[in-house]
Structure 1
Amino acid sequence: MDLTSDNPWAQIGLGRFEGQLLEHMAGSPPADLASLAQTAGVSTQQAERALQRLEEASLVIRVAGPPARWTASPPRSSLGGLLARRRTELARAEELAERLYAAYEAVSAPRTAHLVEVLERGEETAARYAQLLQSSNAEVLHLAKPPYVTADQSSSVAPEVAPGVRLRSVYETEGFTDAVSLETASRGTAYGGELRLASHLPTKLVVFDRISALLPVRPDQPAAGSLVVHSFALVAALAALFERVWEQAAPAFVGAGQDHPEWTGGPATPEWDGRTREILRLMATGMKDDAIARALGVSRRTVQKHVSDAGTALGAQTRFQIGLLVAERGWLGRRPRRPSDAAAEARAGRPGPDL
């Protein structure tokens, strides 16, 4: 029987020749076996086998008489009945598929849970995040972009990172004016956390000790839930993604209302205070004056004055020229670690990053 995809009769179980024979008989008067074989251009044996299959499917009727003749059954009723039987068979097959899937899930779900956890509610995400953060003992890698999912903001107790854990965070520049982000980043850098800014991040992500990773199901919809990944291969890939973003991001040091100690720089570095350097560094990441002012806890006018003074010292006419000249001369080196940081870390755990 020909049931290939180009056979229009295959869906009801007929071969190509059987379907063609039925089409001929539906538009012709009753005919005997020999006439049908001659019309179809086949042997009487082939025609007889096809007629027998059509009769078994109730699609043709044998009319008694010498010689016996054959005629098509009324197509609407005969084909309708055949299609109804096919639908019943398909429904049974679908039911069987559902039973097989349920049996598969019953066995596979426990194994899958060891690779990926699905957190469907915000409170589940916050609780699991805090647990993973507090159990980390080596490093936490963090990509932060809005919208954020954090623990209950009415609570004054933030998740903490244990002393000695290296915390590296990259924040998306556009979302870095958020009050929660600024406060968390400021506290994190104050206790030795490393912060960088990037104009665009591929996703939100937290990697804990390169053993587990937390990321949203849909980055634009926090309410859609989160995933906790335990698969070694997937966590390694996510950590590699973080490292690539980290290398391309711009270092930033945020501290509200505080003057930082001198930054490292070349021997030709002008006598700028720490605030000017910090403003210029944030400006180099693409942050606007208002965002820089909020990040540093100063006024917009203060930011503009520092930028203007830097431009005068460099002989630059535009902010773009300031950024180019400062970068070319390497005058925004890294800030040295403060001696008080180690003592502060020993006294208290560091606050965890935004999620």
Structure 2
Amino acid sequence: MCDPALRLYEKALHAGRIARTDLTDAPLPSRTGLAPSRPINEATATARDEVLTAQPGSDRPAGKLQEALANAHTAIRRGARIRHIYQHPARYSGSIRDCLSQVPAQHLQVRTTELTVERLIIIDRSVAYIPASADRSTALRISHPALVSHLIQVYEVLWAQAVPLAENHQATAPNAPVTAVQHSIARLLAEGHVDDVVARKMGISVRTCRSHIARLMQTLGATSRTHLGTLLARSGITSTSTSPHEPPA
């Protein structure tokens, strides 16, 4: 972040607010550029303590995975530990699992969540990167301690709610062997979301989403979407009081 923005932010911390007149001169934090992968990769490779990441979706291009793997090995050689948070569909991604298997287990922890997450990378708890555009083609580098500390807290909350990748994450209701992904899809359907919105929130394609819905219907014996909604309500799968990785008491 540029100095004028930092001065404005520090002034707000002391005053408890920002004067409206100050906002007109407040510059935006600078971006890493049109191709953010290079500076982010360089920063990750120089990590000495810890790399925290949250990754949306269930698939990443092979080239990106190889870059990430190389950076992970470099960071580990420098003594860093790595934690990743993915969305549940990543559990069924062969390319992601293959990449993770090439990282020494004692240096890596991976969890998945049913929540919709946005990309976040935190390096050595001193600098963070977040998307600066909808297509994630540019990134915003954040180094202000207060902002980085806030992002770390957000990450730790996500981490606490996520499920270890090594944990068998399947049953959510008696007599209903519904996977974690299907549980999340069922909850979103129950909230009234249409297929394309469900797919976007889950980070999967509409085709894959509908395939999960079809298997969910088959598992519960539903003959239509309306019937599925009724069965979901009866089964308790969409109940927010039921943990997605523990059977109800």
Q: Greater CA radius of gyration, 1 or 2?
A: 1
> Of 182, 205, 229, which residue of structure 2 is paired with 1:280?
182
Q: Does 1:212 align with 2:127?
A: yes
Give the conservation status (yes or no) of the 8 Å contact 2:49–2:81: yes
> Of 154, 165, 170, which residue of structure 1 is paired with 2:81?
165
Structure-1 residue corresponding to 2:50: 138
Per-residue deviation at 1:168? 3.4
TM-score, normalization: structure 2? 0.51
CA RMSD between the two structures: 5.3
Q: Does 1:230 align with 2:143?
A: yes
Q: Does 1:242 align with 2:242?
A: no
Question: May I ask how many residue pairs the two structures share in their alignment?
Answer: 193
SS at match of 2:180: helix
Residue 168 to residue 154, structure 1, CA distance change in 2 (3 Å): closer
SS at match of 1:119: coil
Q: Does 1:309 align with 2:219?
A: yes
Give the conservation status (yes or no) of the 8 Å contact 1:263–1:333: yes
Partner amino acid, structure 1, of 2:52: V
CA deviations over 1:171-208 (Å, ceiling 9, x no partner): 5x9xx89xxxx666555776752122434x5x643222
SS at match of 2:175: coil
Q: How high is the sequence identity, in percent, across the aligned residues?
A: 9
Partner amino acid, structure 2, of 1:157: Q
Q: Does 1:198 align with 2:143?
A: no
Partner amino acid, structure 1, of 2:84: R
Residue 208 to residue 154, structure 1, CA distance change in 2 (3 Å): closer
Partner amino acid, structure 1, of 2:126: I
What is the CA–CA distance in structure 2 between the aligned matches of 1:215 and 1:127, rounded to whole Å? 14
Per-residue deviation at 1:126? 0.9
CA deviations over 1:209-239 (Å, ceiling 9, x no partner): 32210123x332645x433222222210222
What is the CA–CA distance in structure 1 between the aligned matches of 2:218 and 2:40, rounded to whole Å? 43
Give the conservation status (yes or no) of the 8 Å contact 1:197–1:251: no
Residue 310 to residue 167, structure 1, CA distance change in 2 (3 Å): farther
Residue 299 to residue 119, structure 1, CA distance change in 2 (3 Å): closer
Give the conservation status (yes or no) of the 8 Å contact 2:187–2:237: no
TM-score, normalization: structure 1? 0.38
SS at match of 2:147: helix
What is the CA–CA distance in structure 2 between the aligned matches of 1:206 and 1:285, rounded to whole Å? 28
Q: Which runs of 4+ in 1 moved over 6 A?
A: 188-191, 247-250
What is the CA–CA distance in structure 1 between the aligned matches of 2:232 and 2:149, rounded to whole Å? 39
Partner amino acid, structure 2, of 1:304: A
What is the CA–CA distance in structure 1 between the aligned matches of 2:149 and 2:169, rounded to whole Å? 37
Structure 1, gaps ≥5 residues long:
1-104, 336-355
> Of 241, 244, 247, which residue of structure 2 is paired with 1:332?
244
> Of 174, 179, 196, which residue of structure 2 is paired with 1:269?
174
What is the CA–CA distance in structure 1 between the aligned matches of 2:100 and 2:184, rounded to whole Å? 14
Give the conservation status (yes or no) of the 8 Å contact 2:182–2:212: no
1:1-355 to structure 2, matched below 5 A, reads 118-122=31-35, 125-134=36-45, 135=47, 137-142=49-54, 144=56, 157-160=66-69, 161-162=72-73, 165-169=81-85, 186-187=97-98, 192-199=109-116, 204-216=119-131, 218-220=132-134, 222-223=136-137, 225-244=138-157, 246=158, 261=168, 263=170, 269-270=174-175, 272=177, 276-284=178-186, 286=188, 288=195, 304-311=214-221, 317-319=227-229, 321-322=231-232, 325-328=236-239, 330=242, 332-333=244-245
CA deviations over 1:121-171 (Å, ceiling 9, x no partner): 30xx212222333325434132537xx9x8x96577231235683423255
SS at match of 2:149: helix
Partner amino acid, structure 1, of 2:133: P
Give the conservation status (yes or no) of the 8 Å contact 1:142–1:205: yes
